[in-house]
Chain A
Amino acid sequence: MTNREQFVSCPVCGDKIAIDTMQLLAGVRFKCPNLECDAVIGLPTESKPIVQQTMEKFEQVKGQLAKQ
């Protein structure tokens, strides 16, 4: 479940492609909502470690704040 609607701008037509970071990490690809645009975006394997690491840190920060 997404915490907020997140978007990445389509490199082809500029439309907003809704994404979910956890699903991106799981290998899901997201399609541009523009029917005339066939673009599909995803996270390549080499980018996954840094995103995974940042998401883990983010969860840690949230956990720490919840304890305070």
Chain B
Amino acid sequence: MADKFDDLDYSNQIDIESIISAPLVAASKANVMMVTGQTRFLLEFCFNRIEIANTDSPPSQDKKYRYEAIMIDMVMTRGVMESSGPDEEPTFRKAELTFSVPLLSIIPLNSLAINKVNVDFVMEITSITSKDSGPNSLSTDPDNKVTQKRAQLNGKISSAAPRGNPNDSSQYKSQASSTLKVNIDAGPLPLPLGVLTIIDLYVKNIQPVPANKKIN
């Protein structure tokens, strides 16, 4: 059993900040990747890219583009009452109206986002060190040694089971298996304000207007 304790290697201890930040940074990177993918998808498949004339003076080498939302037709059916004359009995019929909506308004875009990340682990503190707070220290007094230093906890991720008798081999094994549980919830998030504004602009223009009314 003593040999087993000799096998314990505390050289691979990590500071607590790294343990917490690593999964968060990974989740953040994944989120950026998904949002970037979503934006690329949006621009590539929901918009038509049209090159426009460069009117800059002096003329620049950069090409300019205008993005137009791809519109799809939808059909609406509603009941209409008609009568050919004032004395005639009105008749009921189903009328169909075709209207356009932007393609992006019917694609479930916001399903590509991380909503919540839970990092769950039990850490066995193996050492505590202190390091300089650096230039961002709150203290302005150069003699103030207390606030210039901050604690740094180092440790190893351990299982949630309490530490038992080292002679008990089963407890020893449970300590040896370390776990870091990361739960990522990719729930629905609201669309970015810019996309919502584009959809809203088109939605407001779905309503039919009389032909002689000036469109704003």
Binding site for B on A (CB under 8 A): 2-4, 6, 8-12, 14, 19, 21, 24, 29, 37-44, 46-47, 50-51, 54-55, 57-58, 61-62, 64-65, 68
Contacts and interface: CB of A to CB of B under 8 A. Distances in A.
A33 to B, nearest CB: 14
Please report whether the interface of chain B is mostly helix, strand, loop or mixed according to DSSP. mixed
Given A6-B106, A65-B34, A42 B75 contact: yes
B98 interface: yes
Contact of B112 (A9, A42, A62): A62
B105 A11 contact: no
A60 to B, nearest CB: 9
B172 to A, nearest CB: 39
Given A41-B76, A42-B75, A54 B45 contact: yes
A14 B79 CA distance: 17
A67 to B, nearest CB: 11
A25 B46 CA distance: 17
A58 B79 CA distance: 36
A24 B72 CA distance: 13
B41 interface: yes
Contact of B74 (A8, A12, A37, A68): A8
B185 to A, nearest CB: 14
B159 interface: no
A40 B72 contact: no
Interface stretch (B10-18, B136-144, B149-157, B202-210): B202-210
A14 B206 CA distance: 9
A3 B37 contact: no
A39 B171 CA distance: 68
A38 B72 contact: no
A11 B76 contact: yes
A44 B98 contact: yes
B45 A43 contact: no
B75 A43 contact: yes
A68 B32 CA distance: 12
B70 interface: yes
Contacts of A46: 73
Given A3-B108, A11-B97, A61-B41, A51 B75 contact: no
